[in-house]
Structure 1
Amino acid sequence: MRILHTSDWHIGRTFHGYATEEHLEQVLLAMAALVREHGVEVVVVAGDVFDHSAPKAEAFALLNRAVARLREAGAVVVLTSGNHDGPARLGHLADFAAHGGVHVRTDLASIASPVMIDDDAGPLALYGLPYLHPALLAGAYPEFSGTTHAEALGFAMDLVRADQAERGCRWVVAAHCFAQNAGEQVRETREDGGLTEERDITRGGLDLVPVSVLEGPDYVALGHIHGRVTFTDRVRYSGAPLRYSFGEKDKPRGAWLVEMGAGEPGSAPIEVTWLDLPMPRQVARLRGTLAELVTPGSHEEAREAWVEVVLTDDVLPHEAMRSLRERYPYAVTLTHEPTNRVEQASRGYAERVRGLSETELLSEFLAFVRDGHGPSEAENLVLAEAIAARDAAEVAG
């Protein structure tokens, strides 16, 4: 059995306001080619198929094209809903789609109802778990009283294990969660306006799921984290097929090819291989003065990339972004971090003004509020005239 593990397509997501559908379609077209090339029998999409709970018609059209290509390449397709998806919308016509080899798992009541797939090694049960919000799970199962995602997934896995024990065959689970090994710190990278922030998601522990909760299956296909992660040979994240932020700059993009042979449930021999996917547009971070960055020949590798720029000029140049986009058409964020800002901030106010004349004090103030850029000659003349006029008024008074 050859299974392709992917996740987090996020159809409809933008890159700092720029549409990504065209790039995503190119990547998913390449994914269909990999399915055909490697004889993949099952494609698993472990949640966050869409980026919004109410996706636009264009997003559904892209999904339909992508799934149709995967089916034409010979694979059964299993999709689960993630925390970004609207389960009801993603699962619309799920029963109908199943007749065509596309299985959409969004219904909490069907957690323990697997997609059954046969090959020369026998049957395989594939359990696609939708994102399990504890409150919604309690609504579907009155006997569940947990409040954390770990408890919700543990409850679901117990249901799955009971069903698998009756079937007695190889089994695979697809789940959308924040999995964590004991003692590890897990961080999520977020970006806003070009600034990167790392958020410690272990705080409170409500979202974290110990990897031990997922023990047992022949393979666990995880979604939710946008970078590939390997906990064990049998428990992995594939990451997203596109880079959706500058924080994902160095994370490879692809999918796991899982080849599974015949064997006892939970210990069937597997071989897992990483398959790269193309990057229609790279991402780049550039830092320097405007003059340095727009110099002909500089940073040629970033000419066609999504670009995040940090300008270090003392004063933000006029229409800096326009100048940058003449060289880097896909520059999308601009942050101003003058080199002098750190130097000035390290000196206290008393130290900066000690022993200064009034003219020097005004000059120091302008330099401080303008990130090191003091008064021009013309401004010095205005300041001198203002001080002289004040002194004359005091004498006359």
Structure 2
Amino acid sequence: MPSIRFVHTSDLHLGKRFGTMPDTIRSRLVEARHEAIARIADVARADDARHVLVAGDTFDTETPSDNVRVQALAAMGADPELTWWIIPGNHDSAAAETLWERVEEDAPSNVRVLTKPEPVEIAHQVFLLPAPLPHRFPGRDLTDWIPGAATPEGALRIGLAHGRVQSFHEDADTRDIIPPNRAATAGLDYLALGDWHGALTVDPRTYYSGTPERDRFKHNGPGSCLVVTLDGGSPQVETVETGRFDWQDVDLNLTPDADVGALLSTHVPADVVRRRDVLLTIRANGTLRLPEKGELITAGNTVADSFGLLRLLTDDLSTEVEAGDLDAIASGGALRSAADLLLKEAEDEAASERDRQIAARALDRLWTLAQEDV
């Protein structure tokens, strides 16, 4: 009975620029994506896997810079005993002929690009059945050829594809959706998928590996890859963390008189050094009194510089303001008049939501500044 152990990964998005991120973190995020190649290789060696299957989107665009391409191939070629099997995805489709021609010209012998939908024997009696994307929007299910693909009796069959198994939008084009039961209809021992950036089990033989290094707040936690063992039975699949950065998007539900410092601290790692590799978005909601809201903002500002990135979002946080709160800003004069005006504007139901939020944020800021002067 044939058997194989391999690493399943996808969506490396090498060369992603992170243009919307602050300068303080952008270059580190770019470098972390390149470093993921070595971390994947480390996982493969640690688990005695000799193959890495990359299910699309190795590069973030169809025109990565030469240094991104050359350095990626150098990193993959560092261990000649480890073979990388790569298909084009939607970000780096086969339509980018110049890219893939250069990759094939420069690639070391252990990096194999699969641009044709045909069986490839990657080990004795182990066949890879790839579904490379010829264009960014193929308009059809590219795995539809696999059920009819002949392989020797008793051989292991592994599908490698990039795309959706369901549509998340009513008006989306559904022609390119991969059937969720494709592994069963094609007699696959395993279907390795890419495109979804979070690890996801579709069925016992169908998995999304997720990206090895997160690039957005949609999926919490560090990136990972999958170590897969096939020996004729059900796949044995292990998730192994590979990401350098820990992305966290959390809700902070608040009520008046809450201990905002304690609540905030539950999402702040005690290890100050670790925070450098944490990107944290906190979405505060509920209601706080003005002093408590000021305390929350001050607490966030106090720890912000220790994080790779900290965003404290308070747009959905309502503020209760009592007469004594404005007294803490000023008991009279122009400053108090400004505070009274901002409070009136923040509570004006006839005003637009945007104008009310601007007034509320200005009042928060005014209160915080007044406390700094005390």
Normalising TM by the smaller chain, what interval?
0.5 to 0.7
User: How many residues get paired?
Assistant: 311
Letter of the 1:224 partner, please give it: D
After superposition, the Cα gap between the structure-2 partners of 1:362 and 1:161, relative to the gap in structure 1 and judged at 3 Å, is: closer
User: How far, CA to CA, are the matches of 2:5 and 2:265 in structure 1?
Assistant: 49
Partner of 2:246: 282
After superposition, the Cα gap between the structure-2 partners of 1:232 and 1:321, relative to the gap in structure 1 and judged at 3 Å, is: same
Is the Cα contact below 8 Å between 1:309 and 1:331 reproduced in 2?
no
Whether 1:226 and 2:197 are equivalent positions in the alignment is: yes
Give the CA RMSD over aligned residues.
4.3
Aligned-pair CA distance for 1:260: 2.3
User: How far, CA to CA, are the matches of 2:106 and 2:236 in structure 1?
Assistant: 29
1:81-126 Cα deviation digits (max 9, x unpaired): 11111432442245546781321123xxx21x3322233xxx2221
- How many percent identity over aligned positions? 21
User: How far, CA to CA, are the matches of 2:108 and 2:74 in structure 1?
Assistant: 17
User: How far, CA to CA, are the matches of 1:298 and 1:4 in structure 2?
Assistant: 32
Whether 1:303 and 2:267 are equivalent positions in the alignment is: no
After superposition, the Cα gap between the structure-2 partners of 1:57 and 1:232, relative to the gap in structure 1 and judged at 3 Å, is: same
Aligned-pair CA distance for 1:204: 3.7
SS of residue matched to 2:150:
helix
Alignment of 1:112-123 (within 5 A): 113-119=118-124, 123=125
Is the Cα contact below 8 Å between 2:289 and 2:320 reproduced in 1?
no
Alignment of 1:188-203 (within 5 A): 200-203=168-171
Partner of 1:256: 226
Alignment partner of 1:55 out of 64, 74, 92: 64
After superposition, the Cα gap between the structure-2 partners of 1:55 and 1:330, relative to the gap in structure 1 and judged at 3 Å, is: same
Is the Cα contact below 8 Å between 1:303 and 1:327 reproduced in 2?
no
After superposition, the Cα gap between the structure-2 partners of 1:282 and 1:362, relative to the gap in structure 1 and judged at 3 Å, is: closer
Letter of the 2:208 partner, please give it: Y
**Unaligned runs of at least 5 residues, structure 1:** 138-147, 181-185, 187-199, 262-267, 344-360, 377-397
Letter of the 1:129 partner, please give it: A
SS of residue matched to 2:235:
strand
Is the Cα contact below 8 Å between 1:308 and 1:332 reproduced in 2?
yes
User: How far, CA to CA, are the matches of 1:342 and 1:205 in structure 2?
Assistant: 47
Partner of 2:130: 128
**Unaligned runs of at least 5 residues, structure 2:** 322-339, 348-355, 367-374
After superposition, the Cα gap between the structure-2 partners of 1:98 and 1:233, relative to the gap in structure 1 and judged at 3 Å, is: farther
After superposition, the Cα gap between the structure-2 partners of 1:327 and 1:205, relative to the gap in structure 1 and judged at 3 Å, is: same
Letter of the 1:307 partner, please give it: L
SS of residue matched to 2:318:
helix
After superposition, the Cα gap between the structure-2 partners of 1:325 and 1:50, relative to the gap in structure 1 and judged at 3 Å, is: farther
Whether 1:45 and 2:48 are equivalent positions in the alignment is: no
Letter of the 2:164 partner, please give it: F
Structure 1 or 2, whichever has the larger Rg, is: 1
User: How far, CA to CA, are the matches of 2:267 and 2:83 in structure 1?
Assistant: 47
User: How far, CA to CA, are the matches of 2:266 and 2:145 in structure 1?
Assistant: 61
After superposition, the Cα gap between the structure-2 partners of 1:320 and 1:79, relative to the gap in structure 1 and judged at 3 Å, is: farther
Is the Cα contact below 8 Å between 2:280 and 2:310 reproduced in 1?
yes
After superposition, the Cα gap between the structure-2 partners of 1:48 and 1:313, relative to the gap in structure 1 and judged at 3 Å, is: farther
